[in-house]
């Protein structure tokens, strides 16, 4: 599995601690340094079963500068949101774990991390 993290994020550190405690094998992607492409964001969204606005941190300064809260949240606006996430990776909700079974979870809670771990063992 792979986990997208920001090392400064307490939720990310907590997820890593739990993964380590469970002896999980995973790869860390510091997504602020190794910025996901638009195609990678689309792939993760498909795995999550979510839309880009569902994983956008709308309270970040960049979100306010872009006026994201006023953007449409429909199929016609989807690519605009994906481009914003690729252009401003700090807007991506974290951590995101892509499980070995092809799914993904936004792992902001211990239960979500455990869900990803369970998917990796199936």
Give every strand in the sheet of 96-98, ordered side by side: 27-30, 2-5, 96-98, 104-106
The DSSP output letter for 22 is T
Instruction: Give residue-wise pLDDT tens across range 90-120.
Output: 999 999 999 888 999 999 999 999 988 888 6
Instruction: Give residue-wise pLDDT tens across range 31-77.
Output: 999 999 999 999 999 999 999 999 999 999 999 999 999 999 999 99
Give the pLDDT band (50/70/90) at residue 122: low
Region for 29 from its dihedrals, namely left if φ exceeds 0, alpha if ψ lies in -120 to 50, beta otherwise: beta
> Active-site residue numbers?
9
Integer angstrom CA distances of residue 68 from 1, 56, 90, 94: 31, 9, 14, 18
The reported pLDDT for the residue numbered 36 is 97
Token pair, residue 29, equals 């992607």
The reported pLDDT for the residue numbered 119 is 80
Instruction: Give residue-wise pLDDT tens across range 1-26.
Output: 999 999 999 999 999 999 999 999 99
Q: Is the pTM of this model over 0.85?
A: yes
Three-state secondary structure call for residue 108:
coil
The reported pLDDT for the residue numbered 100 is 83
Please tell me the distance from the alpha carbon of residue 118 to that of residue 7, in angstroms, as a whole number: 24
């Amino acid at each position: 599995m792979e986990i997208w993290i920001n090392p400064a994020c307490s939720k990310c550190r907590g997820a890593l601690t739990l993964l380590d405690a469970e002896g999980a094998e995973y790869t860390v992607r510091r997504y602020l340094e190794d910025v996901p492409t638009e195609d990678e964001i689309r792939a993760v969204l498909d795995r999550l079963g979510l839309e880009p606005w569902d994983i956008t941190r709308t309270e970040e300064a960049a979100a306010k500068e872009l006026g994201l809260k006023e953007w449409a949240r429909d199929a016609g606006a989807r690519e605009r949101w994906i481009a914003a996430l690729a252009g401003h990776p700090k807007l991506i909700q974290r951590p995101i774990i892509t499980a070995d079974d092809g799914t993904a979870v936004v792992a902001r809670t211990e239960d979500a991390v455990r869900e990803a771990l369970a998917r990796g063992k199936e």
